[in-house]
Structure 1
Amino acid sequence: MSRGLGIARYGRAVVEDFREGARLLDRTLTGFWRELADIGSRPTQSRMGVVAAVSVVLTTSVALLMQLDAPWWAAVSGYMSLMSTGAGSVRRGLLRLSGTIVGAFVGFVMARWLLYDQVALCLFLGVATMAGVVAMQVSPHGLAWLFMAITSSLVLLMSLNDPTLAFQVACDRTIDVAVGVSCAMVTAKVLQDWHAEPPPTAPGWRHLLGAQWPSLLHGVRAGISVVTVLLVWTMVDLPDVGQMAVTIAVVMAAPLIADGGTSTRHLVAEKSFHRFMGCLLGGLVALACLALQVESLFWWLAMIGGVVWVGMHIQMGRHGIPYVGTQFAFVYVITMVQGLAPPESIMQGVDRFAGIIGGLGILMIVSLLLWPNDQELKNELRT
């Protein structure tokens, strides 16, 4: 009898998860179309879109002139370093750059040992991810911690097949980010306001085993997810494990609600879904643009700038889906910018897109299995 009740309860939970997924899909698509309908109606959004487009086009052009190893990573840095004010953009860019430099050094040093020991590598990736994710919730310099974790993971993962490449990868990632951050700062200086902003507040590292326990728990589960991605990739040979690791690390950095009023599971699921939809929509638009086989550098850059403008418009919108806009622009850029010229083939973009979707699929499974529901979260907070 009790077994039958348990099965029925589980069935109802599964049905409710599907219903919530359908509701989330409806809200996300509705918000997306409303944002598109609002294009041009709000000067603040339009202006910020121009800032983002100029920053990405400038970064891409400089990266191509310098013949950087990964111009797409530089272009993404030029977009992700921007905030609503010039002062905020500079601070965010410096945090991103400092975290990248430290992470590149750590990844290079650890590559001497970890790339020859898979167990130790998994342990390091899990701990680094946990530290970065926890820091995003408790430290005013959390972004630097997060990018230290991301960059060290990238250096290690991209050197798996050839450990001698670790130094080159570390240098390349640092230069890519430095170019992107520098171009974003120049753009912010010219096009954005520079009024002073109050320093960000954060609860700090104290009481991680007390009042900040949910933050620590959040980080532990993030570390488990990253290790799961690595193990699954090793078994089934999924493409672009570095991008999948970045996907999980950034999605898991969703801040907790301080009063515990909303479950961690719901927050992570919502942010994961928004990233999924943003990546899906941005990737599809990018693949459609690649299918046009544009060979002109001018028109290629114009397409990148135009779609980035739309992505920033959605990110700055008022319909509750800013993360969709962020990921829309993010995936569009990394799919469109493949080398030192307009891409000649759609296949590399398809591979990158598949890597992101693979990481998100694993993330959603781990989230459903390991994240607590509302009642479980209340019990954790009580204890």
Structure 2
Amino acid sequence: MDAITRQGLITGFACLFATLIAIAANLDQPYWAAITAYMVANVDPSALATKAVLRVAGTVAGCILGYVLAIATEGFPVLQALVMFMAAAVGTYWRFRSRYSYAWILGAVSILMLIATSITEPTELHDFAWYRFYEILTGVVVATLLSFAFTPLAHLRLEPVAVTVSHDVARHQALSAGLSIVLIAWLWALFNLPSLLQVMITSLVIVSADIVGTRLRGLQRIMGCILGGCLGLLVIIIDAANFWWWAFALTAGIFLMSRLHLSPHPHAYVGTQAGLAFLVTLINGSGPPDSIEAPINRLTGIVIGVAIMTFVSWVMSARLRPAAAA
């Protein structure tokens, strides 16, 4: 069995087990445990260990700082917008300029989630912060233990990434990310957009080192979202209420999508996003979904986030090109 096939099987079962453990522990959003298991998966044990450590570290730091900032700015919309701008901008800048980029972006995402929760459901802020930590930890532990149990561990070590992006490019993309997050919050308040958290997360994670990369990543995210979302909805339509069908479909679907997600293919990100969309479609707060409303809202949030970030990046790029030419 080749490495990708083996890791695909491990990832499928890791997502299922992480979900079941999160549900048994009565965590608020079990799909985050499954998403974490999916995202830390890697055919290289050292890369997996690095992502696992950085994901936990970034989440812990982001939850602590985000909770403090959310409490301090609650009821002050201008300050909340400023904190969201800074979290997105700083997280994006160091995502491109730090060897520990994965921790920075996870920290920024956690801060944004807590600020957004203080806006939409302020009474749930404390519980949300703890749930966020437990959900991420559950996914990391399950994925790591299963992977290490079935993968050779010779020369296991942490491998921070090399910095390849210039200061100017990182600063430009950081500004685009910060402005996009503030625009999203304003549009959400104005038009009551669905799934504020999903829109914010999507807009932040698609940022690439250049405008072309951001557009391509956004297109791949939409393609993956459509693929994974449609497959998830098909599973629901067939018989989501049947636990054994749901468990089999979740495991098999993630295995198939991991084949692309874990590969070196130029469009591997389509597989990444397809798996994420599949998981958020199939997993509800207490298990299999009992309606399609929540999955549809999450998928809609992904599309809106891609559109807003792509637009802001395009505008920023267009404004900077004349200055560069001069």
State the TM bucket, normalised to the shorter chain: over 0.9
1:93 to 43, 52, 56: 52
Residue number in structure 2 paired with 1:84: 43
Deviations 1:321-348 (A, max 9, x none): 0110000001110111012232221222
Cα deviation, residue 55, structure 1: 1.2
Larger CA Rg, structure 1 vs 2: 1
Cα deviation, residue 191, structure 1: 2.0
Cα deviation, residue 319, structure 1: 4.1
Q: How does 1:64-79 map to 2 (within 5 A)?
A: 64-79=23-38
Q: Normalised by the size of structure 2, how large is the TM-score?
A: 0.93
Deviations 1:217-256 (A, max 9, x none): 111111111111111111110111011111011111x2x3
Q: Which amino acid aligns with 1:325?
A: G
1:199 to 159, 179, 196: 159
Greater than 4 Å deviation, 4+ residue runs: none
What CA distance in whole angstroms lies between the structure 1 residues aligned with 2:305 and 2:113?
14
Residue number in structure 1 paired with 2:214: 268
Q: How does 1:310-329 map to 2 (within 5 A)?
A: 310-317=256-263, 319-329=265-275
Cα deviation, residue 372, structure 1: 4.2
What CA distance in whole angstroms lies between the structure 1 residues aligned with 2:244 and 2:45?
27
1:171 to 113, 130, 136: 130
Residue number in structure 2 paired with 1:213: 168
What CA distance in whole angstroms lies between the structure 1 residues aligned with 2:251 and 2:216?
28
Q: Which amino acid aligns with 2:321?
A: E
Taking structure 1 as reference, are residues 203 and 86 closer, same or farther at Cα in structure 2, changes over 3 Å only? closer
Cα deviation, residue 201, structure 1: 4.4
Q: Secondary structure at the match of 1:340?
A: coil
Alignment gaps of 5+ in structure 1: 1-41, 257-263
Q: Which amino acid aligns with 1:63?
A: A
Q: Which amino acid aligns with 1:243?
A: Q
How many residues align structurally? 325
Cα deviation, residue 198, structure 1: 7.2
Q: How does 1:1-383 map to 2 (within 5 A)?
A: 43-196=2-155, 199-203=159-163, 211-252=166-207, 254=208, 256=209, 264-317=210-263, 319-372=265-318, 376=321, 380=324
What CA distance in whole angstroms lies between the structure 2 residues aligned with 1:370 and 1:285?
36
Cα deviation, residue 134, structure 1: 1.3
Q: Which amino acid aligns with 1:125?
A: M
Alignment gaps of 5+ in structure 2: none
The answer (yes or no) to whether the contact 1:277–1:324 under 8 Å persists in 2 is yes
Taking only aligned residues, the RMSD between alpha carbons, in angstroms, comes to: 2.1
Q: Normalised by the size of structure 1, how large is the TM-score?
A: 0.80
Deviations 1:277-313 (A, max 9, x none): 1112111111121112332222211101111111111
Deviations 1:12-44 (A, max 9, x none): xxxxxxxxxxxxxxxxxxxxxxxxxxxxxx833
